[in-house]
């Protein structure tokens, strides 16, 4: 009887193993598979799984940062194309595909506070503006002329997106203050007029009014950067310089207190620029106790340096959040497999393994000429391309990169430990709030790689083609 009972128990235990299977979603460098669902793979007792040269162990007991989400920017150019080129049905289908769980379920959106290098008018022509423009030589310290009307294409679209997905996180970042607040009256370059102390107080009020005005239109702004790319200016499009000491003082003495006084719960995020100088900027802002108290964390772009710089910032300021808020592909490299591999190792896997709680690309949508533009990058690529003549939509490599995470990793998930083989099988893993697990793996090598995935005493084998990525969920 005892032997029979043991045999029955053994059968049920084996059934438990076999009922535990992983869903598989694959994108290959040759584009034969584009976030395509594959046959499920069953876990089995590890002693029954063959040995493999590479074993990826997933350890849910070792946890790291909480994940806010994945997404891209709704620029003026993107909003123009989506609102004016697409038919209502095409627009609805695109928003469903991008922002709901019927598609890739992205939930993190950045937009420019005022104009950027992708801001256009109702005809798609370049347009630079702020929310408080006055003639050169004039001032408006009481912000009586404040209006977000020039942003209507953007905030109306953001409202529609929020109706599709209640978990949308909105992140605003200014490319320039109103020109009359700057040392030189211009959108393109210069810096805040530090000779006039009232300018800083007024500019803090400008942020408050922007958040309140967006809220009146039904759009809740969750976080703001103080300045987009504060260490770079251009004469070609809206930009403004703001060094770390200036940003520290502005947050500590003006912006933080203004938010506090007006009960603004929107988070303040510093930097919003490249990895290579992030730690120095963090030390300037977060190294100050008062500025640190007002600042949620640091935002980074991908255009210089390495993602490991974010780990340096995390180790110096472990209680602060880290975001990757901009990166763009472009026509300088159109090889799908190479781009997928770069995006995986630097953005999706490299970003989250280095403590980023969000990963964002740049424009949601551009046209086949990489526009319309307002003087910035002449050959940047959108996450999708919209043909203005037909309304046809092409999903680009950035779409599939993001989709490997956004479709499966839920807001509030935490990163968990996984074995990582640099330049071979690179991985990152997550545990969702419901306890389900997600493992993303990328093969950066020139040949197919076979590896084992193991959690506790269960495992399975998988072969991943060169320059390809796969997401497993269980």
Distances 134 to 79, 179, 347, 353, 454 between C-alpha atoms, Å: 25, 8, 40, 46, 63
Cα separation, 107 vs 167, in Å, equals 6
**Do residues 184 and 237 lie in contact, with contact meaning Cβ atoms separated by under 8 Å?**
no
Report the distance separating Cα 425 and Cα 56, nearest Å: 9
Q: Distances in Å between the alpha carbon of 37 and those of 25, 27, 103, 204, 258?
A: 4, 9, 13, 48, 49
229 classed as catalytic: yes
**Is 370 buried (19+), middle (13-18) or exposed (0-12) by CB count in 10 A?**
buried
Count CB-CB contacts under 10 A for residue 39.
8
Residue 355 φ/ψ region, left for φ over 0, alpha for ψ in the -120 to 50 degree band, beta for the rest: left
Which residue among the candidates 326, 410, 431, 467 is catalytic per the annotation? 326
Q: What do you get for the CA distance between the two ends of the chain, in Å?
A: 36
- Distance CA(335)–CA(30), nearest Å, equals 9
Q: Is 326 a catalytic residue?
A: yes
- The contacts of residue 204 (CB under 8 Å, 6+ apart) are 250, 254, 255, 257, 258
Q: Which residues are bridge partners to 171 per DSSP?
A: 110, 223
Q: Give the span between the Cα atoms of 28 and 21, in whole angstroms.
A: 22
Alpha helices in 26-67 (DSSP H): none
DSSP element (H, E) containing 18? helix 2-19
E-only strand ranges, 67-126? 69-73, 108-112
Pair of tokens at residue 352:
């989250």
Task: Exactly one of 68, 153, 229, 398 is catalytic; name it.
Answer: 229
How many angstroms separate the CA atoms of 244 and 285, rounded? 6
Q: Residue with structure tokens 């046209």?
A: 367
List Cβ neighbours of 369 (8 Å cut-off, separation of 6 or more).
none
d(CA 212, CA 219): 9
Strands (E), 10-54: 21-27, 36-42, 44-45
* Helices and strands, counts by H and E, the chain: 13, 23
Indicate the length of the chain as a whole number: 474
Catalytic residue positions, numbered = 229, 326
């Amino acid at each position: 009887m005892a032997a029979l009972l043991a045999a029955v128990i053994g059968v049920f235990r084996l059934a438990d193993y076999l009922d535990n299977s992983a869903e598989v979603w694959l994108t290959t460098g040759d584009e034969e598979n584009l976030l395509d669902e594959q046959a499920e793979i069953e876990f089995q007792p590890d002693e029954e799984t063959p040995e493999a040269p590479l074993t990826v162990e997933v350890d849910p007991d070792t946890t790291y940062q909480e994940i806010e989400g994945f997404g891209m920017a709704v620029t003026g150019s993107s909003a123009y194309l989506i609102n004016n080129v697409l038919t209502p049905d095409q627009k609805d289908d695109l928003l469903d595909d991008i922002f709901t769980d019927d598609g890739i379920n992205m939930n993190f959106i950045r937009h420019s506070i005022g104009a950027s290098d992708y801001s256009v008018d109702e005809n798609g022509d370049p347009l630079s503006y702020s929310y408080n423009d006055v003639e050169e030589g004039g001032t408006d310290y009481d912000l009586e002329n404040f209006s977000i009307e020039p942003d209507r294409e953007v905030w109306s679209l953001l409202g529609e997106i929020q109706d599709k997905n209640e978990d949308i996180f909105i992140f605003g970042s200014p490319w320039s203050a109103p020109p009359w607040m700057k040392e030189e009256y211009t959108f393109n370059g210069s810096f805040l007029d530090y000779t006039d102390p009232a300018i800083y107080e007024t500019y803090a009020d400008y942020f408050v009014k922007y958040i309140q005005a967006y809220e009146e239109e039904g759009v809740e702004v969750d976080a703001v950067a103080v300045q987009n790319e504060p260490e770079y200016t251009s004469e070609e499009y809206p930009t403004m310089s703001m060094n770390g000491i200036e940003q520290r003082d502005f947050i500590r003495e003006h912006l933080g207190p203004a938010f506090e006084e007006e009960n603004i719960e929107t988070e303040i995020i510093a930097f919003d620029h490249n990895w290579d100088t992030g730690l120095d900027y963090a030390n300037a802002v977060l190294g100050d106790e008062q500025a640190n108290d007002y600042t949620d964390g640091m935002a980074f772009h991908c255009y210089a340096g390495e993602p490991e710089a974010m780990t340096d910032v995390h180790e110096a300021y472990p209680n602060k959040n880290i975001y990757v808020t901009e990166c763009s592909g472009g026509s300088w490299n159109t090889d799908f497999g190479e781009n997928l591999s770069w995006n995986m190792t630097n953005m999706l896997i490299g970003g989250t393994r280095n403590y980023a709680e969000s990963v964002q690309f740049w424009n949601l949508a551009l046209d086949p000429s990489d526009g319309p533009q307002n003087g910035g990058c002449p050959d940047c690529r959108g996450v999708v391309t919209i043909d203005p003549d037909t309304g046809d939509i092409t999903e680009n490599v950035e779409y599939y990169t993001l989709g490997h995470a956004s479709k499966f990793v839920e807001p509030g998930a935490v990163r968990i430990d996984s074995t990582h083989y640099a330049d071979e099988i690179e991985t990152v893993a997550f545990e969702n709030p419901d306890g389900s697990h997600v493992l993303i793996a990328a093969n950066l090598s020139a040949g197919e790689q076979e590896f084992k995935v193991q959690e506790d005493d269960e495992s399975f084998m998988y072969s991943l083609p060169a320059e390809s990525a796969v997401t497993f969920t269980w």
